[in-house]
Each structure stands twice: as C-alpha cells, then as structure tokens.
Structure 1
Amino acid sequence: MTSEQVRHRPPRALAQPRELVIVCAPLRSNVNLSRIARAAGCCAVSPIIATGRPMKLDPEIARDASSSVELVCRRSLTPVLKDLRQQGYQLVGLEQTTDSQDLHHYAFPRRTALVIGNERSGIPDEALAVLDETIEIPVWGLPYSYNAATATCMALYEYCRQWPDG
C-alpha cells in the first residue's frame, strides 16, 4: 500500500462509443433530469432525449455532465421512439408491467433506447404499445417503485456492467 492515496482516477477509455440512448417521457422535475444526466455522463452515454415541455439541466447538479452529455428536447415521445426503432435501436422501457422482466435477469441489446417514464404516471400507454420490451427493478418495500432518476441510474449501471467496453 502506498503512503499516498489517489482520490480520483481519470475516466476509463471505451473501445467504442456506447450505443445506448436515454429517452425520457415528459418529466415533472428538472432535478430528476439533471441527476439522470449526471449518471449518463459517468457512464459515457449520450444523448438524452427529453420529451414534452423544454427542460434545462440544473447547472449545480449536472455541471460535470454538461460537457459530455447532449440534451435533445422533442415535443412528443412516440414519434421519437418510432424514429429510434428505424435506426435499429431496441426500445426498452423501464416500467412495471405484467410483462416486464426483472433487471437482474435481463440481457441488454448493445443498441438500446432506454425509455424512462414520468415520475408519477410512468410511460404513457401509447408509448408502451410501441416498446419492444419492458424491464423493472424489484422492490422489497414501499413505495412500489424507485423514483425516475434512481431507477435510471440502476439501469445504466447494469447496461454498463454488461457492456463494459462500450
């Protein structure tokens, strides 16, 4: 053990860029979007497509991610999903449904569009109908689900665990 510890390490280099896009249903909170951006930056994931009303990243929370994460704002979720499917992305919703798969047992396709639902109402029904698959994170207590930013962080980490080199 050395006498001096290094506090921060530089980011790991990826062999190739990640083929993961985060798509957010209209969110209620810029804070959640900023926390998602911060986690995306740590995972070298860009862009984030935010749908609904135009949103801005909270500069205090997301300043570290702002140079590496592109935020794209679009008016409507379903057309964005259809466009991503045409680009070859697998549309994976982070949502509890009767058909959702447990995140612990899910194998992410390399080219994934991860769809995040609204903090209260989840992914709208018309968008759910377009998705290829839904995944959920099991909970053991109340409330019944993690908040949007926390769940996104967990899913991002699992994707990166499965695809560590990009």
Structure 2
Amino acid sequence: MAKFEHLRHQAPRELANPRELLLACAPLRSNVNLSRIARAAGCCGVTRLICTGRAKLDPKIARDAAQTLSIESHRSLVPVLKKLKAENYTLVGLEQTTNSSDLHHYEFDRRTALVIGNEREGLTEDLLAELDAVIEIPVWGLPYSYNVATATVMALYEFCRQYPDG
C-alpha cells in the first residue's frame, strides 16, 4: 500500500513559457469574489488582471496573488477589449448564451483574454458584441449557474489543463 506524506505549501511548478492568459472583469459586486478570482489566477500562473468598477482586493483572501499579479483598473471594459483584440488576444466570455460553447469541448487559444461578467447581470450586450467566443459551464442542478468566482476557477483550470507548461 502506498504511503503519502503531507507536503504543505509546496513550491510552485515552473512554467516553460509565460502564460498568455489574462482576466478581464466587468464590475463585480463583491470584493470577496474578485479576491477569490485573483487568488486562483495567481495559482494558475496568470500575471495580468484587468478590473473595472470599484475593484478592491481583500489581501487576506487574495493572499500572495496580490503581489504577483499586475492589476489594472479601468472605467469601462469595452475600450480595453478593443485594445486586447488589436493585440491579438482571443476574447472569450464566460456566460450562458444561445450560442455558448460547452467548457468541456472548447479549445482555448494560448493567447486568451477570459472576460468575466457581473454576478447578477453577467456580460452585457455591449461586451458580448466584442467577444470572439463565449463558453459556459454545464449545470446539473439548481441554481442555474455557478458563483462567478467558482465559474472563473473552473475555466482557469481548464485553460491550465490544455496548456500545462504555460
């Protein structure tokens, strides 16, 4: 029988290539959700987080990610998305729409901006108009969607699964 030794706070794995994934967040209602998203992004090797609205990280939740992430604040996300598209990012929204792709079957481009919507309103029509693709996470029970931080973590994990070395 295999024996396991508990290794707490193991050093992070080295990425062969820097991640070309960034997160762009619509104004979130909860700084707790934003802080959880930042922490997960840090664990995934994401180095850039774009926020709009009154974004403020809780350092107790975001922990070390607040030190490793480049956090940009903007008034509106639409001009940022236009700029990212000009920089050859594929803009992928995380939302339930009529033409969303199932996260389990979506193949991310290595250079992706994952666009996250507001907890209540999701991604607005003006943001959806800028996107190259929209992904959603299947739900098998109620409520009809995952919490924004939980859904973001699931999408981040899938990206990392597809690009484990960066």
Partner deviation per Cα, 1:109-161 (whole Å, 9 max, x = no partner): 00000000000000111010110000000001111100110000000000000
Report the more deviating stretch, 114-123 or 63-72: 63-72
Runs of 4+ with deviation above 6 angstroms: none
Structure 1 match to 2:148: 148
1:99 equivalent to 2:92? Answer no
Question: Are 1:103 and 1:135, in contact at CA under 8 Å, matched by a contact in 2?
Answer: yes
What is the root-mean-square deviation of aligned Cα atoms in Å?
Answer: 1.3
Partner deviation per Cα, 1:67-100 (whole Å, 9 max, x = no partner): 2112111000110100000000000000000000
Separation of aligned partners in 1, 2:100 and 2:146: 15
SS in 2 for 1:66: helix
Deviation at 1:2, TM superposition (A): 6.5
Q: Which ranges of structure 1 fall in alignment gaps of 5 or more residues? A: none
Separation of aligned partners in 2, 1:40 and 1:29: 17
Question: Are 1:52 and 1:77, in contact at CA under 8 Å, matched by a contact in 2?
Answer: no
Q: Which ranges of structure 2 fall in alignment gaps of 5 or more residues? A: none
1:86 equivalent to 2:124? Answer no
Question: Are 1:22 and 1:46, in contact at CA under 8 Å, matched by a contact in 2?
Answer: no
Partner deviation per Cα, 1:9-43 (whole Å, 9 max, x = no partner): 21000011000010001110100000000000100
Separation of aligned partners in 2, 1:80 and 1:44: 22
Instruction: Write the letter of the residue equivalent to 2:65.
Output: A
Separation of aligned partners in 2, 1:50 and 1:2: 44
Report the more deviating stretch, 66-75 or 109-118: 66-75
Deviation at 1:5, TM superposition (A): 4.0
Structure 1 match to 2:120: 120
Structure 2 match to 1:17: 18
Deviation at 1:8, TM superposition (A): 3.2
